Chain A
Amino acid sequence: MGVGIQVENVNAWYGKSQALHDINLKIEANHATALIGPSGCGKSTFIRCLNRMHETTPDARVEGRVKIGDLDAYNGTSPTQLRRRIGMVFQKPNPFPTMSIYDNVAAGLKLNGYRDRKNLDEIVEGSLKSSALWEEVKDTIHKKSGASLSGGQQQRLCIARALAVAPEVLLMDEPCSALDPISTGKIEELIFELKAQYTIVIVTHNMQQAARVAEYTGFFLLGRLIEYDKTEKIFTNPSDKRTEDYITGRFG
């Protein structure tokens, strides 16, 4: 089951330049939350702070409090512990090229020392079914490399890989920006189904996408969270002038 996320006074830096200023927000469990905003506004940096991926960049730094459910992300939790509870899907599909489809899905468990072969088979099948890829690949999961799939299939493989470790939160960083409209449609349907079990945070440049998949939407600008509300409210009656300007295409 998904858990809620609570973010308090998060600031983030790349070297000396500050990328996030005092972010406060509460993300609802088992809902999809979309983060929108122009390029470089900090939305990607923000979700990378949620699973402590931000600090893997040289010279990057985070301050503030992040709670994933009742787990304090930056206090007494190791990054690896934290990331096992948070799945992440990246902008460009990034399956492990040397691994078969099966091994890609099983990677998170296998690399963390999970060895129960029979259980693993079930988990892989279940994850591929959840990501709506099973029917397309079931005959070749051991023979074909993850890299041999099409772009859209690769992205669904990456989603299956993230789901296989049974996370509570799924972070998606522009998961459809490298995909064609049909693949995008499939991923969006998937997000709709996955909401039942996971808390989803999705960064997107596509405002229609945000409106379609997310119940809540946050608008970022220049490293600040300008407005955060129900998606409907953001797109029909935003309370900040800058949000309105952005969603009506007046800038950004």
Chain B
Amino acid sequence: MCPGHPCGVSNDFVLVLVVITALGFDFTNGFHDTANAMATSIATGALPPRLAVAISGVLNFVGAFLSLAVAATIASGLVSVSKVTLTVVAAGLIGGIIWNLLTWLLGIPSSSSHALIGGVIGATMAAAGGSAVLWHGLVSKVVIPAVASPIIAGLVAAVGTWLIYRISQAMTDGARRHGFRIGQIGSACMVSLAHGTNDAQKTMGVITLALITNGTLAKGSQAPVWVILCCALAISIGTYSGGWRVIRTLGKGLVEIESPQGMAAESASAAVILLSANFGFSLSTTHVATGSIIGTGLGKKGATVRWGVAGRMATAWIFTLPSAAIVGAGAEAIARGIGSTTGVIIDLVLLLAVVATIYFRSRKGKVDPNNVNDEWTGSVTPAQPATAAA
């Protein structure tokens, strides 16, 4: 039982369920975000799609071991640990997973981090009221970085793009395309590494929070090695499975990209993500990558940004925190209404039902490595192959 405070459920069985759900979230985080690192490399042809996701998967695994600063923010900086129960953590994860899958179905590169944080906050509020949320931490470590980071990344990418085109003016088109494709492979690898560093830590933070809640770990503990290892594995397998729908939107939908722009965008993303990870900001790698891609469109004369697509994404970003919070709060209410372990199990059964529904919906109008680069015709689902070939 958890010492010191009354909680509805506390046993090792529920803890195991929570850890499995958390790793499930980590998996969706990986495949939702493969695009952040690899969309532009796949779009410019610098890397073949399957190789790109394989490299990204491996580097996400490595990146997960780089830092623990963000995990600490999630584990103790956002909600009052003494008010959190295992049920709350499970409900929060369910909120995050469902929002992640819905946005993936629509091909919208929304933030996995916000989905997770929103879910946990919604569930905490439903269980213990608004006072259990550390609003200061939420605003200073999550909301403000969420607004600032895509703007900074866009600025860096625009400056980088402008410099690159100025400097390489004298080069022939063929040499330039080839040279920057090689550079792009390097910069895409850096984004993958940065993604592992930043995003795998979020799940580590949540599992650590669950372990502290259960009394398995002392308050203020760091993530144990087995947690780091499991999270690294889950995010890298998720990345390898490739979220082709989001890759397509980010690589083809937003801006038509050439290899020098791809490299500029990726370098900007990698730099901003790694810097923020270092400051313990739990920023969204997705917001940064999108900001960079828009920035690289603005930095090159004659490039056009499809603001309609960008606007649709921005709308999804605004809705991510509250929507995931509502789902998380609902899941918490259901679990608490039914009570104890059964409540958590019923929640998870409902989650599986939603996951299955979304999966079968996604089979109609599939996006895969073969059609991910087809001409952008206004939607994430490409036109039929026959029309594309004609």
Same complex = no
B residues neighboring A (CB under 8 Å)? none
